Every structure is written in structure tokens, then in C-alpha cells.
A and B are shown apart, each in its own frame.
Chain A
């Protein structure tokens, strides 16, 4: 059984002028030990999807559909049950290590919190376990740092602490929402390596949210490409990098700076902008920016469908093996 099964999740926000759909019919699943990447530009619904999994959507937003975590639908669970899951069986790592730690609490106290809360450890045991965790995430001189406040740590060190908190109770599922975006490049690789090691050790499923394709290619088994609140392509990582099927995925790949010999060094931006959630047109949302749009794209919005074994795309004219094929 899949560890996490997200089925037809739609998220909408209540506005005075009516409900506005933000995320539409997102479905995917994560197996134990699998690393799934979620790719897309800002505002495409990645973080909202992550928050919906934990039942932490901001006020005024509602999610419909099914989120099955080991068979239990998270959307119908009550708050106390969700509290028992969060930080215990599902961990979340945020983007901004500068703001996700409480400035008034010592590092040690914050790492001890989930241990005391979910595993009922006493102060003494929690301290020993927290120190073990800080060693495991390779925080330099953990014993000294234990009584430090967040402002006394560097960005990379803080993110390690955030990770320690997320993995403290050995969650079965870890969601990392842009865990390295705020860090410099060398620190990025260290943190990602750490995440890889940790998920390997415990067979934890990892949902990695990022807009960094380089990170995706290194880390993930499978990639979900999101655009305008929907998944437009899902493919094994190697396939997607080698031959993106959706024109948007291809656009993203072409917009990566290349240093490879033979490349002329020019980036190819994707023209235009993402339509705002309240002003999404009929038909394909990517149509206005798409170099290969056809008449059908304006009339009907393409649904996600299988185009090759293990790969699906939401496009009327997916690019298969580098060529535009017929649907």
C-alpha cells in the first residue's frame, strides 16, 4: 500500500466575490522510501498541497478530495488525531530556517519538544535523545549549541536543527518545502545529502518541494510538475530530464543555465506569466505561453493522462521522444 495517496485534491479560498480555486484535482502517491519531487514556480500550489496534507491550510481555505496516509483519510480526521500525526508520523521542513525556530527558546528545548510531546519522554531522556539527534544531523559541537538561541546559529545550522525537529520521532513521511532555498550552494548540498541519508536509513517517504531542477535531478525518483494549481506532468526523474513531455516542463529545463561544453550559453525564458487563480481562462492554462498550442488547447483543458508507461502529462500535444505526437 502506498504511504501517501493524494486523490483529486482541490483547494479553494473563500473570497467576498466567491470561491476561488487555487489547486485543482491534484493526485499523486508516495511509496515508503520513495523521494518524490514537486516542481513548479512560485504560487502554483506546491506549498498549499503540502499544508493540506497536514491539515494546516490557512483560515478561509478548504480542501476537497482524499488524502490517504496509510489508508486513513487525513481530511476527515479531527484536530487531536491530526496533532498526534504531525511531527510524529509526518514531518515538515520549511523553507526559511531563520523564521521557523522560536527566537525565545533554546535550540535544545525546541528539539526536545516533539520528543516530549509525542514519545512522552521525560526531560532527562529527551535531552539525551535530542543530543543524539543533533549529533546525527551533524550540528557542530551539539553540546554547546544545545543551550544556544536560534540567533546564535548560522542559517545552515538552523536548518539542521529544523530537520532534527522534523525527524525526531522518526516520521514515515517527510515533507520538505524548499529546504535549501535560503542557503548557499555548499550548504545546500550538505543539507540534501543529510536528507538523503536520513530517508535511506529509515525508509521514510520524502516529498521534496522545490523550484530548483538541479536539486530535483540529484535527489528524486519521480517528479511532479505543477503549473497553475494542477499537475501537468509526472514522470520518473531521468525520463523527465531527458525528454520532458509537457511544453512547460521543457520550458523549465531550457531555462536552466548550462555550463556544458557546446552550449551557446543563452537561456530560453518562458514568455508571459501564470494566470492568476481568479482569472484562469478556459482551456489549457499554459496555452498563452506555449510555443506549440493548437486550437483544442483554447477550447478544453487537458486532463492528466498516461502518455507512456509510468509517465503522464496534461497536454493535448505531449512531446514524446522529442517529437510532438498526436493524442
Chain B
């Protein structure tokens, strides 16, 4: 009986999935870059850190698809390896912001009153420090490095998620089905998790993709300042940073890391858009 009813529902879902171009495009882009990052653990066209002074500043060719940098390192190999740190920073920073921020926002909207006030003023306090400043402080306290960059960007994301979740949840708390859930005897905690959270999931997912994109950019910026990924570990941001000196001599050194960042950010944003539609059962029918 369960099987029968699921099978009648799933074709519609499948069609909806395929008909969402942003989900497919975003999924393909994100999956490609993620698998390149995973592949780099096992294999890269050249050892990413191997310098070859004879092969410096090679323009893109069949041997070096994206060319070589000032040390003769293969740019494609560097980008693949760099994806590891960029994706790791994105995932961890978003996870920190999403989990803590959403929890705080949900609590604030559920409890209201002074708890709400305290949480939101704390968020204001965090908002007062830009991510870079936050990272500078953390780096000063704990030393520069990728881990601290992740934490700094994550902490910067907390108030963003808290605010968005609180605002969206406030709109759900006054909906009639929440009152209906109360009349069936559910506690506030229960309602927050079972009724409010699913109804704001689309907003959280979209914010997560935006934050993921900005986290990659923030990591690039921090690495640029020397506060993120430390040499020789490659990262997209640091490659962009180091290549700017050679912008007129070897523009492809800037172009490929830049394009990679743009593509990844675009892919993640498309994926978020598609996921939002997919998560909402009301879209399943219309698509």
C-alpha cells in the first residue's frame, strides 16, 4: 500500500526534477567542481606543487590546459587542489552559520520577549564586525590559517541566518495552521521543529547557497590578505591574489581562478534555486 502510493507520487516528482533547469545546471556545475576536488586527492594532471622553472608562464596548451604559473606549476592541478580548501571553507563556514544561526533565530521567534531581544542584540553586535575584521582578530588570537578562516566566516554567517530565520519564522508563527497545531496540544518546541522549520526551509536553503558563495569569496579575500589558506597550500583566492602581479604578462593566470570562482558561485546559486522549488510540495504539481 505504501509502495503503491509512493509510486504514484514519484513520477510527478521526477518530472519536476528534470524540468527544473536551474537545478540540473546548478547540480552539474557543483558536482563537476566537487568531483574535481575529490579527484585531486588521488590524481592531478601534474603534481600541483611541483615547480618547473623551465615551464614558467606557459600559456594554455595541450600539455597545460590552463597554462602554468610563475613557478611553472600546472594551473589546472592547482585549481583542482585549491578546490579542496575553497569547498571546505564554504561547507564548514555555512554549516557553522546555518546550524547556530538558524537555531538562534528559531528560538528568538518562538520565545519572543527578552530572549528574542538578547539574541538579536548579540547578532547586532556580531554584525558590527565585518568578516575580514573578525578573521583578523581571530588570526591575531589563534594564528592565521584555513581553520580560523572557516571559523571567522562561519561566525560572520551566524547573525545573517539568525535574522533571516527569525523574520521568516515570525511570519509562520502567526499562520493558522500553527494555531491549529496548538489546539491539537503541541508544545512550542514541537511546533517550531515540525511546523515552522519545514515552512522556512526554502529560505534557509537559498541563504545557505548565497552564504556558500560568499564564503568562497571571503576565503579568497582572506587568503589574499594572507589570513586564510597559507602557502604552499593552493586556494582559489590565493591564486587570484598571486596572479595579479602578472596580469599583463599572463592574464590567463587570473582568468582561470576567477572563472572557477564565478562558475562555482553560479552553480551553487542555481542549485539553491532549484532545491527551493524541489523542497516545496506546492511546486511539485505545477512543474
Contact = CB atoms under 8 A, between A and B. Distances in A.
Contacts of A87: 183-186
A106 to B, nearest CB: 8
Contacts of A162: 180
B176 A100 contact: yes
B42 interface: no
B183 A54 contact: yes
Nearest to A108: B5
A300 B113 CA distance: 41
A165 B285 contact: no
B14 interface: no
B-side interface mostly: helix
B182 interface: yes
Interface string B173-211: 001110111111111001000110011010000000000
A83 B187 contact: yes
B1 interface: yes
Interface in A93-134: 94, 96, 99-105, 113-114, 117-118
Given A103-B199, A146-B5, A147-B9, A113 B176 contact: no
B61 interface: no
A101 B281 contact: no
Contact of B176 (A54, A91, A96): A96
Contacts of B281: 103-104, 149, 151
A220 interface: no
Contacts of A82: 185
Given A103-B282, A149-B282, A151-B281, A56 B182 contact: yes
Nearest to A127: B2
Interface in B82-114: 112
Contact of B1 (A59, A105, A143): A143
Contacts of B248: none
A102 B183 contact: no
A297 interface: no
A3 interface: no
A237 interface: no
Contacts of B199: 102-104
A56 B183 contact: yes
A83 B186 contact: yes
B180 A118 contact: no
B5 A113 contact: no
Contacts of A114: 184-185
Interface of B: 1, 4-6, 8-9, 112, 175-177, 179-187, 190, 194-195, 198-199, 201, 280-282, 284-285
